[in-house]
A and B are shown apart, each in its own frame.
Chain A
Amino acid sequence: MTKKEHVKPVEKTGAKTIEKPVAKPQEKQESIDTTRQAVPFNTGNIPGPKTARAVMPAVSGKMLAKAKRPLLIVGSEVHDKDVLARAVAIGKTGVQIAAVGNAYKSLGDKGLDVHYMNMHALATYLCDPNWKGLDGKGNYDLAVFFGITYYYMSQAISALKNFSNIKVISIDKYYHPNADMSFGNLKKDVFIAALDEVIAQLTKTG
């Protein structure tokens, strides 16, 4: 978090607080800072004393790469072409995808290991250690997600936070307090760049 000294002072509002660092030293431009603005995107979405640790993309990427049985969950906000391309890229590395909401209609024809699932039901099943997963091979040890209606996903993962042992990482555009780890609130270009860094970790490890 030493990078904070290179960032413009935080102002009250969302967009201003997620501006890119100014006068950033050349050697530190490789990684973008996704730990800024780690406050619930919906102002009132404050669950309690335990909230997600704000992390850099490399951390999320490494967690995803090292997980034995990860699941990527994407939802109805995946249809944007930039976002979709990143979901496909992660899927191409072999990570299984749960397409919740109406995400399947953009992902179904991409040659991925992708399954339609209702998010509320998925959260329920992920809490059940006896569930055999979307492919019958067992439950998951890590759930990673992005591109889902914010408040809907926040509620769904509150079940996982409180009633399961599965690690939950948000690599979404928004800070999700109910995850174990999350990016802060990001502008779209930063969000896309962060996803690219996650993908870079996957391909590096894979």
Chain B
Amino acid sequence: MIVKKGSFVIEGLENVQINIGKVGADEEQIAEGPTPRPEIISLRNWDYRILDRYAPVYTPTSDLCDYCTYGKCDLTGNKEGACGIDLEGQSARQALMTSVMGSACHTAHGRHLLNYLIKKYGEDHQIDVGPSNLKAPLTETIMGIQPQTIGDFLPVLDYVEEQLTQLIAAANTGQEGAARDFESKALHAGMLDLLGMEVADIIQISCLGLPKSDEKTPMAEIGMGILDPKKPVVICVGHNIAAPAYILDYMDGNGLFDKIEIAGLCCTAHDMTRYNKASKIIGSMSKELKYIRSGIPDVLVTDEQCVRADILKEAQKLHIPVIATNEKITYGLPDRSNDSVDAIIDDLVSGKQAGVLLLDFEKIGELVPKLAMKIGPIRKAKGITALPDEEEFKKLVAKCTKCLQCTRDCPQGLPIADAMVAAVNGDLAPFEILHDKCVGCGRCDYSCPVDIPVLNVIEKAAQRVIREEKGKVRIGRGQIGDPEIREEGRNLVLGTTPGVLAFVGCGNYPDGTKDVYDIVEEMIQRSYIIISSGCAAMDIGMYKDKEGKTLYERYPGRFIKGNLLNTGSCVSNAHIAATTIKVASIFAGRKTKGNWEEIADYVLNRVGAVGIAWGAYSQKAFAIGTGCNRLGIPVVVGPHGTKYRRAFIGKPYRKEDWNVMDGRDGSVVNVEPAPEHLMITAETKDEVMPLLAKLCFRPSDNSLGRAIKLTHYIELCEKYLKKMPDDWHVYVRSEADLPVAKREQLLKLLEEKGWKIDWEKKKITEGPLRKVDVSFQPTNVPRLCKEAKK
């Protein structure tokens, strides 16, 4: 028996009691790098290296600061406010606060789960994430420890919580003042976010039987049209699996899956399917209000994150009881945790209470299915829905004065009035198109001067497409296993797999969910590895090809080129970032424990991974992106991402920004701008595809890899922007870097640019920025050079 913690007495030595608190560090727990448990300035030098090359760009949404009672202060033109902060500093402070907010959200989620799971399974419950020695790459790299049990994560979350407190303190008036250091702190918060997410997902995988690095998880149904509305319907909204797991267990134990429909909205849906494959997915947060207003749900269960603030108000109108199950979202509801299930059900069915706060998971598990069975038939008999009937619909669309106020309030600026006009003439097609582009926020309802419930009208008009909205998503697999990294790591670092593209984040797309499908389809056909998570992973599965197959059905889920992976919910984003650490560790043998800077430096210079959050809306998405940036992973967001107010954009024309050292001797090498940006936006899908290809370039690419990457960059530019990229030649180091099929043509173009070509040998003799050197060890960290080590 191994006792890690507690007290025991040895037989025969009854007078001696042995107490074990924390087991001392064994060999595996010894940090290998210089920064285990980094404090808020421990990695500042690394941050400065990033910020020197990718200077923060600020696009303020407000020129004012109103954080303290000195203000409001007008900071227009980068003026200083009363406290001395200028607009640059204020914008950076907002970046810090946004990053902290997102990080706190994921970490609090992890803390809630950890406390619950330790209570249920004990601290000594073993971590099991699948076939991996590197079980918790972010924990190892940041904390310098290798956790074995879920209890080992207690000090990890203690650390994150303490650091977040330090960081938010820096945002108080009269504290930090330099934009550069606000940004360093924002990067720290982003890194902590990755750590908090890793804890949350590893413990739920380990304790709740979620898939463990399984490349062949089954498919889950997704869409607004998948449920049978004749049955009682339970919809769980949010991100935290704890409460829904009890509901699923109760339904399983009582054979209720045939009698009740149960599905999730947003990331809870992912984790419900990971927990029990009988569960289904409605979709992202964009579907939340629309689905509630359809009247189909009979019970709404909320946990945390991405739950609409008006969910109780909306549900109450349709007599849908709301069961709030998490302390962070309580809506002023009465806490009925100590009451009997039957008494609560009576009050909810009678309408005496619109909802309850219920923190007892056992009761939630029992109450929700029973409540659905009781209230479902009553609601369905009444035919309760917020949607207008045919006659009402005609009257409503005829009321439209085409004032465009709805368009002005719509986040996407949708041409709603045009669709109203078409509907008056019996043409619903424009509304059906709008349905996909609409993010379901409901701002249009408030803006209409003649009180048309615009969102309901859109949904009513789009009933045909909603009924057909039935897709498939491969259930979230969790981590990428070590064997897959061993197989693919070399291709990634040499560039022969053109890149890893991580489609993450939310549904605030600039032009509808179809864009995500289109982008993924194009890039996967080009052999990029596509990893997805969260709402993006859902939306990828919403469309089918001519043969009726979704992308998940067309492409397998292994971590190799041309595959499509879904890691799971938001917190599984940690595994995507951690994959790059695994590449550094498993393929390149880099030490991980307490060694963030070296790992991030490796990722930045050698691993062609790019994150794309095309519909990012939340603080959490910003924190994830910022954490990836600190790990050396570039991130692209959609045009709404400019409202995050800060980006990290490289300046390729500043040659001095692109100096790196050769790790072999410390010599300085001026390299091509690769990756060119760390965080940037794009306006359209046409623009983003070549950008993604370009951001996969790394200084370490070998010639074959560079030629492959260059092929895709050029072809995507030609296909979507109708031009050769202006800077393609910058990435050419020798004729071997040129795509074989176009080599002659490209050599001619290079000659026109003034490069010298030996046509007999078909070789470039003069022109490139640098030569290919297969042994080149690019690094931005002086201490990692051999000379420095001596």
Interface residues in chain A, defined as those with a beta carbon under 8 Å from any beta carbon in chain B: 12-16, 41-44, 47-50, 75-76, 100-102, 104-105, 108-109, 115-116, 118-121, 123-125, 127-128, 130-132, 148-152, 155-156, 158-159, 161-163
Q: Write the nearest CB–CB distance from B224 to chain A, whole angstroms.
A: 27
Interface pairs A-B: 3 shortest CB-CB: A13-B403, A48-B63, A101-B683
Once the chains are docked, how many angstroms separate the CA of A156 from the CA of B642?
7
Chain B residues whose C-beta falls within 8 Å of the C-beta of A49 in the assembled complex: 63-64, 74, 76
Q: List 19 A-B contacts (CB under 8 A).
A: A12-B403, A15-B402, A42-B409, A44-B409, A47-B63, A48-B76, A49-B63, A49-B74, A50-B63, A101-B687, A102-B683, A105-B720, A109-B722, A118-B680, A155-B59, A161-B63, A161-B77, A162-B77, A163-B78
Q: Write the nearest CB–CB distance from B613 to chain A, whole angstroms.
A: 14
Which of A42, A48, A75 touches B413 (beta carbons < 8 Å)? A42
- Asked if A16 meets B682 with Cβ closer than 8 Å, knowing A116-B723, A162-B58, the reply is no
A123 & B59 in contact (Cβ 8 Å cutoff)? yes
A16 & B403 in contact (Cβ 8 Å cutoff)? yes
Q: Write the nearest CB–CB distance from B519 to chain A, whole angstroms.
A: 13
B353 in contact (CB, < 8 A): no
Q: How many interface residues does B have (CB within 8 Å)?
A: 55
B49 in contact (CB, < 8 A): no
Chain A residues whose C-beta falls within 8 Å of the C-beta of B63 in the assembled complex: 47-50, 158, 161-162
A158 & B404 in contact (Cβ 8 Å cutoff)? no
Q: Write the nearest CB–CB distance from A175 to chain B, whole angstroms.
A: 11
Once the chains are docked, how many angstroms separate the CA of A92 from the CA of B691?
29
B726 & A162 in contact (Cβ 8 Å cutoff)? no
Which of A47, A50, A127, A150 touches B61 (beta carbons < 8 Å)? A47
B76 & A13 in contact (Cβ 8 Å cutoff)? no
A152 & B61 in contact (Cβ 8 Å cutoff)? no
Q: Write the nearest CB–CB distance from B680 to chain A, whole angstroms.
A: 5
B61 & A158 in contact (Cβ 8 Å cutoff)? yes
Interface residues in chain B, defined as those with a beta carbon under 8 Å from any beta carbon in chain A: 55, 57-64, 74-78, 87-88, 401-405, 407-409, 411, 413, 417, 447, 449, 510, 639-640, 642-643, 645, 647, 649, 651, 653-654, 677, 680-684, 686-687, 691, 720-723, 725-726
Which of A104, A123, A159, A163 touches B723 (beta carbons < 8 Å)? A104
Chain A residues whose C-beta falls within 8 Å of the C-beta of B77 in the assembled complex: 50, 161-162
Q: Write the nearest CB–CB distance from B63 to chain A, whole angstroms.
A: 3
Chain A residues whose C-beta falls within 8 Å of the C-beta of B680 in the assembled complex: 118, 120-121
B74 & A121 in contact (Cβ 8 Å cutoff)? no
Chain A residues whose C-beta falls within 8 Å of the C-beta of B681 in the assembled complex: 118-120, 152
Chain A residues whose C-beta falls within 8 Å of the C-beta of B64 in the assembled complex: 48-49
B76 & A15 in contact (Cβ 8 Å cutoff)? no
Once the chains are docked, how many angstroms separate the CA of A100 from the CA of B683?
8
- Asked if A131 meets B653 with Cβ closer than 8 Å, knowing A116-B726, A159-B59, the reply is yes
B723 & A120 in contact (Cβ 8 Å cutoff)? no
Chain B residues whose C-beta falls within 8 Å of the C-beta of A158 in the assembled complex: 59-61, 63
B684 & A76 in contact (Cβ 8 Å cutoff)? yes
Chain A residues whose C-beta falls within 8 Å of the C-beta of B74 in the assembled complex: 48-50
Chain A residues whose C-beta falls within 8 Å of the C-beta of B57 in the assembled complex: 120, 123-124, 127, 159
Given A149-B683, A159-B59, 5 further pairs, Cβ under 8 A: A14-B407, A100-B683, A104-B723, A120-B59, A124-B647
Which of A50, A76, A124, A162 touches B683 (beta carbons < 8 Å)? A76
Once the chains are docked, how many angstroms separate the CA of A130 from the CA of B77?
19
Once the chains are docked, how many angstroms separate the CA of A120 from the CA of B409?
24
Chain B residues whose C-beta falls within 8 Å of the C-beta of A119 in the assembled complex: 681, 683
A118 & B691 in contact (Cβ 8 Å cutoff)? yes
Once the chains are docked, how many angstroms separate the CA of A49 from the CA of B76?
8
Which of B405, B411, B651, B654 touches A14 (beta carbons < 8 Å)? B405
- Asked if A41 meets B58 with Cβ closer than 8 Å, knowing A118-B687, A124-B651, the reply is no
Chain A residues whose C-beta falls within 8 Å of the C-beta of B409 in the assembled complex: 42-44
Once the chains are docked, how many angstroms separate the CA of A102 from the CA of B447?
31
Once the chains are docked, how many angstroms separate the CA of A53 from the CA of B639?
26
Chain A residues whose C-beta falls within 8 Å of the C-beta of B510 in the assembled complex: 149, 152
Chain A residues whose C-beta falls within 8 Å of the C-beta of B687 in the assembled complex: 76, 100-102, 118
- Asked if A14 meets B721 with Cβ closer than 8 Å, knowing A121-B649, A155-B61, A162-B78, the reply is no
Q: Write the nearest CB–CB distance from B635 to chain A, whole angstroms.
A: 12
Which of B405, B647, B686 touches A120 (beta carbons < 8 Å)? B647
Q: Write the nearest CB–CB distance from B124 to chain A, whole angstroms.
A: 50
Q: Write the nearest CB–CB distance from B449 to chain A, whole angstroms.
A: 6
Residue in chain B with minimal CB distance to A50: B76
Q: Write the nearest CB–CB distance from A1 to chain B, whole angstroms.
A: 23
B684 & A150 in contact (Cβ 8 Å cutoff)? no
Chain B residues whose C-beta falls within 8 Å of the C-beta of A15 in the assembled complex: 402-404, 417
A48 & B403 in contact (Cβ 8 Å cutoff)? no
Q: Write the nearest CB–CB distance from B147 to chain A, whole angstroms.
A: 39
A162 & B87 in contact (Cβ 8 Å cutoff)? yes
A102 & B686 in contact (Cβ 8 Å cutoff)? yes
Once the chains are docked, how many angstroms separate the CA of A202 from the CA of B57?
33
Chain A residues whose C-beta falls within 8 Å of the C-beta of B683 in the assembled complex: 75-76, 100-102, 119, 148-149, 152
Q: Write the nearest CB–CB distance from B427 to chain A, whole angstroms.
A: 21
Q: Write the nearest CB–CB distance from A49 to chain B, whole angstroms.
A: 5
Chain B residues whose C-beta falls within 8 Å of the C-beta of A14 in the assembled complex: 403-405, 407-408
Chain A residues whose C-beta falls within 8 Å of the C-beta of B58 in the assembled complex: 159, 162-163
Which of B403, B639, B691, B720 touches A149 (beta carbons < 8 Å)? B639
Q: Write the nearest CB–CB distance from A132 to chain B, whole angstroms.
A: 6
Chain B residues whose C-beta falls within 8 Å of the C-beta of A104 in the assembled complex: 721-723
Q: Write the nearest CB–CB distance from B724 to chain A, whole angstroms.
A: 10
B413 & A151 in contact (Cβ 8 Å cutoff)? yes
Chain A residues whose C-beta falls within 8 Å of the C-beta of B684 in the assembled complex: 76, 101-102
Chain B residues whose C-beta falls within 8 Å of the C-beta of A50 in the assembled complex: 63, 74, 76-77
Chain B residues whose C-beta falls within 8 Å of the C-beta of A125 in the assembled complex: 651, 653
Q: Write the nearest CB–CB distance from A169 to chain B, whole angstroms.
A: 17
Q: Write the nearest CB–CB distance from A62 to chain B, whole angstroms.
A: 25
Chain A residues whose C-beta falls within 8 Å of the C-beta of B55 in the assembled complex: 124
- Asked if A155 meets B686 with Cβ closer than 8 Å, knowing A49-B74, A50-B63, A125-B651, the reply is no
Once the chains are docked, how many angstroms separate the CA of A8 from the CA of B196?
59
Most buried by B among A12, A16, A108: A16
Which of B59, B78, B691, B721 touches A105 (beta carbons < 8 Å)? B721
Q: Write the nearest CB–CB distance from B694 to chain A, whole angstroms.
A: 10
Once the chains are docked, how many angstroms separate the CA of A120 from the CA of B639?
9
Most buried by B among A101, A121, A148, A159: A121
Q: Write the nearest CB–CB distance from B773 to chain A, whole angstroms.
A: 29
Once the chains are docked, how many angstroms separate the CA of A161 from the CA of B401?
36
